[in-house]
Structure 1
């Protein structure tokens, strides 16, 4: 720490960035709790150049996979050892409840462990020969990776990108969101403690228009992995097309949750409430559109309304809190504008739609869980991502309507289905355009299962064994076995 602001990490070195400092605000109080130094374009160039050099160093380039896996395991152990302090730091940084940030830290540690195990068993391939040669398919690091992460789930998202990028042998340059930079800086410090060569790790906070833009456009960055808004994703894809650079884009969502008339309503209601109101609805996979058979629609809405009103809104560091604040005042204002729009479009607010009362919550960016009925599938509130605790409900009559209703947005990230008939649910899940389908559950995620979206929800997949391969390039190698010289040209 120098100059009153937390240092950034440039190629493993801690120092003040050359950009303008930014303030990290506690969303529960609206007060600044930390000042963070930020990177400049020059810092980005230095980090990329050092990352390229570190990747070429034989000490890293020739390190066997099981040795790299040992470093990943060590990182997981350090995250686990620091889990409570990391969780509390995230709660300060983005307002998520302490129970959820503990889960995010555990997820980060689990991602490093899973990636280490997958790396040790990730084999290259001896391909079928079609002549007098031995042929192989081998994989090599793609090059320095820019990992641009979102504010809603810091350390878990950073681990999801950094672990496989490092496992594949790359340098990783983490650019955290401006609203939540603290977890990434802590993770970067732990990766260095774990023993990764310093040049491989940089953490570069700062504005997306400066730091993110410099990373995406830098000729030395060979892949960008981005989680965030669809508009930014499009801009990254446009630059990547000019560079012929691979990208992984996990973007927005407006995920449907479908309740069939045979569903266990007790189970469904609890899952729906969790799917939309946990994380204050600030999740790309939030189940923000509820599509319910007309025969049970009113009962389901009544139950969800009662459950929403029973949720505890309060300080996110308190163990009993279900919902903390939204990330920032301007984000809450945007959520509020959508609720006003819903009323203008003819929607009925069954519950919520206001800020909670009480002096203890007045300084934070709190908003009540909101349920809206009476809108059609073409309304803006039903089609556009709100990224807040707002649920819109739609009744349906005929099951044949469901694929079109579920797909009636530009997005295709996730979907939930509630039914006692597993055959019926399976058939429906296969017809809907979504990267993930949950049946009789919601927001369950695994490091072993690939994750991503279709349509405007993104490109590519993260997680799973193949998640490591996505940070590598493939090379064919041929060994000639014919002892007879070529007769060509004779």
Structure 2
């Protein structure tokens, strides 16, 4: 398939199973590699959102869906997975145009999304409710039922994979799902809607509503018919949404920011550690909540390791996302590139030494694009702002450490708690340090490896709750206890009153 011949989604929204022109504010999707316009569309208005919610409520209440047996719902998820797999090249092209990620990465994200739908189809086939231990004259059951209407709010950095991680378990649980993608990357979610429709999912159970968070995001969180929200994005927005959810006493999961430590001990395999550190911070152009943005290197090897790291970083291929050789593609938007550059200038003001990068690349190949060179900073303490705040770009800070106690204290001295990477040949040390680090995920001698079967989430400013895994299905369900009397006798409390 010639990727350049692929038509982008036409910009209509998927409102409760109906393709409609949005009536909200204008959204301009650009190609970050050169600034050209992909599509101009109208986002969802409050009225569009209200209409989608009304259609979702009717569809989810229909016994034809709500009472569908688990293995029958699983068929829809498998058909969606088939549709994604049949359209990997199309999805990858659309997402690359939307986000600037390399085609190599967007192909992998599309394949991951298909795997997520297929996994939750399999979970449905093997998920049982429980008969709890009987402690009286009643059969006691613990049952799980759909919540009803679920909202999924996803970020711009990995939309198809993030969408799937929310939509697949929510549909598997029997809910209707309203998806709000980020305004910087609306197109791939609309392509997902086309695939979901083609899979035969009953109309109304899925909507895609790109639009302003201040309008559509708030509507989805505040609306009385929405029973759960799953949000991935910035910490300040997540905190605001959590306050709104608390007013409704509504469950919400929040996958937020990170300032993840990566730690290289003196006994590590240096080649493995170098490759892992480079991948951890510079893949996805650093636009990842789990990016390993704080590097701690044991003092005895610090200078030699950093010298090799800088040399390797300078060799990374910064280029067009359609070039198969590209390792570092453009950032998602010029505004975001400027934010990253401002953080590097802040670090300079704090006394940081720029070991490499620290600027946009020059030359005609980069004209009009939102490019920024992979950057390594040194010479600042862990207390500097560049070490405290999420940059969300290809910027790494290197800090030496002396021993386990020192690096554990420094790594944990941060408001975030999302991920951590460790490089060491000492298995007991890896277990000690990994258990001591406050993080939802710890990688040992690797980084950014994922499995849909393994829970993911963070602590502290990195969020609330977990996604993925078998329990990821239960998160989109409500639990009900049932007591079925087996004695057949009147309750003795009534006594003579019933005789």
TM-score per shorter chain, which class? over 0.9
Tell me, yes or no, if structure 1 residue 485 matches structure 2 residue 490. Answer: yes
The aligned residue for residue 413 of structure 2 is 408
C-alpha distance in structure 1 between counterparts of 2:13 and 2:278, whole Å: 39
The aligned residue for residue 303 of structure 1 is 308
Task: Quote how far apart the aligned CAs of 1:307 are.
Answer: 1.1
Match of 1:17 among 18, 22, 31: 22
Q: Please list the CA deviations of residues 240-286 of structure 1 after superposition, one character each: whole Å capped at 9, or x if unmatched.
A: 00000001100000000000110011110011001000000000000
SS in 2 for 1:69: helix
The aligned residue for residue 348 of structure 1 is 353
Match of 1:257 among 258, 262, 274: 262
The aligned residue for residue 206 of structure 1 is 211
SS in 2 for 1:475: strand
The aligned residue for residue 146 of structure 1 is 151
Match of 2:343 among 333, 338, 341: 338
Return the TM-score normalized by structure 2.
0.97
The aligned residue for residue 437 of structure 1 is 442
The aligned residue for residue 399 of structure 1 is 404
The aligned residue for residue 372 of structure 1 is 377
Q: How does 1:80-479 map to 2 (within 5 A)?
A: 80-479=85-484
Task: Quote how far apart the aligned CAs of 1:36 are.
Answer: 2.2
Q: Over aligned residue pairs, what C-alpha RMSD do you find?
A: 0.9
C-alpha distance in structure 1 between counterparts of 2:204 and 2:153, whole Å: 18
SS in 1 for 2:204: helix
Give the number of aligned pairs. Answer: 487
Q: Please list the CA deviations of residues 418-463 of structure 1 after superposition, one character each: whole Å capped at 9, or x if unmatched.
A: 0001111011100110000000000001100000000000000000
Return the TM-score normalized by structure 1.
0.98
SS in 2 for 1:267: helix
C-alpha distance in structure 2 between counterparts of 1:137 and 1:208, whole Å: 37
Structure 1: segments with no counterpart, 5+ residues: none
C-alpha distance in structure 2 between counterparts of 1:343 and 1:486, whole Å: 77
C-alpha distance in structure 1 between counterparts of 2:216 and 2:407, whole Å: 43
Query: Retained in 1: the 8 A contact 2:17–2:207?
Result: yes
Q: Does 295-304 or 385-394 show the bigger shift?
A: 295-304
SS in 2 for 1:249: strand
Q: Does 27-36 or 175-184 show the bigger shift?
A: 27-36
Q: Please list the CA deviations of residues 180-234 of structure 1 after superposition, one character each: whole Å capped at 9, or x if unmatched.
A: 0011111011111111111101000111111111111111111000000000000
Q: Please list the CA deviations of residues 130-171 of structure 1 after superposition, one character each: whole Å capped at 9, or x if unmatched.
A: 211101000001121110000000100000000000000000
Task: Quote how far apart the aligned CAs of 1:5 are.
Answer: 5.9
Tell me, yes or no, if structure 1 residue 46 matches structure 2 residue 39. Answer: no
Q: Please list the CA deviations of residues 29-64 of structure 1 after superposition, one character each: whole Å capped at 9, or x if unmatched.
A: 111111222111111111112111111111101111
Query: Retained in 2: the 8 A contact 1:377–1:405?
Result: yes
Structure 2: segments with no counterpart, 5+ residues: 1-8
Task: Quote how far apart the aligned CAs of 1:21 are.
Answer: 2.3
Query: Retained in 1: the 8 A contact 2:11–2:187?
Result: no
